[in-house]
Amino acid sequence: MSSHPAACLAATKAFGSGSTVPVGFIRDNAGAVMEASPISYVKAAELRGSLFDPEDTSGVISSVNTNFFVDHTEPLEALAWVRRGLGWPLGELLDGYEFLLMVEARRRDRSRSQFVS
């Protein structure tokens, strides 16, 4: 969860599979992952967007309503910049919302050094 698109893109690249956002993975797993969270504000956040509600016409695709009303000036400027150069799969950022991004972690190969005697 983040209101900043650059943070979402960095997480996708660092922990996922390149710069592709796995919207199907988010849709299929978000509810269970958030419900299992030990962090109260994550657990209480409400899933929002057309990914979770096909009748949602707000422009939000994958977000959570955290009711944290913070200044979104910088994240919205970054979002405009990202949209000029890349496709942005998570939709609009509304007041009190944060983008919801989930990635399926890449499996790491076991270090070869542990097999060297």
pLDDT digits (tens, 9 = 90+) for 76-98: 888 888 888 877 889 999 999 99
98-113: b (≥16 Cβ within 10 Å) or e: bbbbbbeeeeeeeeee
Identify the residue with better confidence: 52 or 86: 52
Q: What is the pLDDT of residue 43?
A: 94
Q: Looking at residue 20, what DSSP letter applies?
A: -
The C-alpha atoms of residue 22 and residue 34 are separated, in whole angstroms, by: 17
The C-alpha atoms of residue 29 and residue 85 are separated, in whole angstroms, by: 29
Residue 30, Cβ neighbours under 10 Å: how many?
A: 20
- Of the ranges 24-33, 67-76, 91-100, which one carries the lowest mean pLDDT score? 67-76
Question: Is pLDDT above 90 for 113?
Answer: no
Domain segments of the chain as ranges: 5-104
